[in-house]
Structure 1
Amino acid sequence: MSRARLEVGKWGKINTRRLPGKGRKYEASGRVRVKAGTGGVEQVKAVADTEAEAVARFKAEAGSRVSFAVTDALTPDTTVTDLFAAMIVQLRTGTALNPPRQQSIDQYETVVDLLRGDYAGGKYPTIGGYPLRQVTKQQVRRWLRDVSTMSPSTGKRCKAAALRAFDLAIDEGVDPWNGNPADRAPLRQAERHHAKALDPADIAVLRRNVAAWQTPRKRTDLLSIVNLLIATGMRPGELLALRWEDVDLVASPATVTVTGTLVELKGKRADGKGLRRQPFGKTHRAYRMLSLPTWAATMLTERMVSASSDLVFPNENGGLLSLRNVGTRWRAARGVEYEGVTLYDFRRTVATMLDRGEGVAAAAAQLGHTSPAITKRHYVERATDAGDHTRVLDMLAPPPA
């Protein structure tokens, strides 16, 4: 039976054995594909004092082999799929200039699956099998257009990955297009939804619904989570990453400092992946100190008395509470009359209230946006200004009595 084909940057089964002799050394060995195409598989070995350390050294050595060799195999005959896979390897091995965050690389990797036809049941069109010398700029643009027509968000992700992948090909001397074929490719944009803020009456009903859902048997304190979202306009991931060391209840007014957010990285928890706290936010403006209204400070003071974790809102074991689980509980608690309301709508509500009371700059600072224009466009509920037409409309005034 033939061996399964390895993807670029991947290794097969890692074999370990204790070496003979008195040194109690362990060896880890396996095959790793360092190049695209039919060749490029190398045997890698690593030796260390313990089995676990030998495996770790094997992985490090395998990664270093790939990082130096992966782009050597890029030729006009490399397929589009193999090009994108090589780009992923370059990003994961840290050899790319200005690499994106790990969660972005995870998203780019789904594009490789899409090109293979293994994503979403293979429903999306693909150009993955074409060699680079045959694929044209028009085909790349048509592919991105067709994917974005089916799903604007997937199309946007494919274009971001394509820009990086084709830049890599060009950097390695493969450029039958005279420039990146994905550059300025038009995409279908997602339908724009106007921001909708909740009014005080809506918030009151939602609080009652969540309180009715909340019972002693339900470990997640959803009502307190909702209340702090209302009080701060924080991103839900920022709130679930909040630690007691980020809270100052002695200050006047009391404050919370946003120092990180939750992310879910592709891979095993043992390898530092899965659900984890990222010690920085979505943007450089995400690191911010927020003043708390008195009622929110009182709520946190009551929570602190019985706190048994360094997290303000931990799971039942004291660890990170998954945003996915919180979202599931929110949908069960919000009530059928508020089916369309998400946890992010509290953020839009805070933005709208601050914009009306103190201006859009204050709202942007509270939300941690890099530009007030983002806040104004996506988060503030605002009617379109129709302009001053009173001079004409005054002609329709009723006659004097």
Structure 2
Amino acid sequence: MSIAAPIVVVAPDSLKGSCTAGEAAAALARGVRAVLGPTATVREVPLADGGEGTLDALIAAWDGRIVSIPTTDALGRAAIGRLGLHAPPPLSRDDERSSTPPPAAASVRAGALAIIETADANGLLAVSDVPQQALDADSFGVGTLVLAALDAGADELLLCLGGSATSDGGAGLLRALGARLLNAAGADIAPGARGLTELTTIDLTGLDQRARAASWRIACDVENPLTGPRGAAAVFGPQKGATEDEVVHIDAGLVRLTDALAPHSPLRPDELRAQPGLGAAGGLALGPVALMGATLVPGAELVSTAVGLPAALADATLIITGEGRFDRQSFDGKVVSRVISDAPPGTPVVVIAGSVALSGAELRAKGVTAAFSIAPGPATLSELQSNCVELLSEAAARVCGVFIARG
């Protein structure tokens, strides 16, 4: 293999809590150039899988603008969320980055797309300053962002899931849009997942009809169903602080929610509970899928297509990707799996991650040439996070050193 004029593509995800995908790509590129020198072509392609960073990646690719919107976090506290707005023809770059809310409904013309990164309003990081509250965390703030998008004139909505603190099946989202979730006595149930086991009926009389008329897509990064042993509660509930008893409570509540939605939906409860991907973000997409005909799309595929990843990889000599933790879940709709899928046959694919939990045989079986942790030795998570950018550069330099030796 000749490396006289190598073409290296660095295409990482973010390392959650440490650096964005753009920062990771820049760090990897610096490490590559430190070894290969100015003759090397290094392409930086920051990626996302539907979670953190997806809005930024798509708006950059589609030449839109981002506006800030007052909303609430998963515990009902005041927060600032963001909308990505895109309408063909492309918006002026003068409007690309705005720090103020859009003026009322005439912000964009009809036919516009609004992109919402839901973790802005229901994300774990936003409520990490207090003990986790798995039963009470609520998605109402996501609905606030949807209403703002509708007020801005958007009639196509793209919700980007990931990093959620909520397990309420999107009940809060529906309440924000005007629905009422009622118990047997006709009273509103408690917010979050706590009240779902008491849910009897859903009153859609006040539901914002613009939400039903809009076209919805949901970008997600997992294929888990809503309920059961691989569902939202069982798999992701403990990450949000749910105890064993609370996992059982949440799962039962999500079952009740699908039953209550059934009279209003063309989909049967068992179809909703089994649909791959509907377990993402604590079932946040349940209402849009059941009531608005939303479609689930693989987030990593959506982003890779938007940013032109296949073309960027087509003539690559070496591909470096990465993420926070590289394990078996990385092949289940995550960025690494997308990079492998888009890589030309025979091109080396190297993964650089905060931690690597896979054997050499597992790597080879999935088409990964090699995987390296950024840890130079024993280190705490906080130490790795605080030095993440420098460690990524050093790891990329080591990878290129090996790559040169092979050549």
TM-score bucket of the superposed structures, by smaller chain: under 0.3
CA radius of gyration, larger in: 1
The structure carrying a bigger strand percent of its residues is 2
TM-score (norm: length of structure 2): 0.20
Which gives a bigger RCO, structure 1 or 2 (Cα 8 Å, sep 6+)? Answer: 2
TM-score between both structures, scaled by the size of structure 1: 0.20
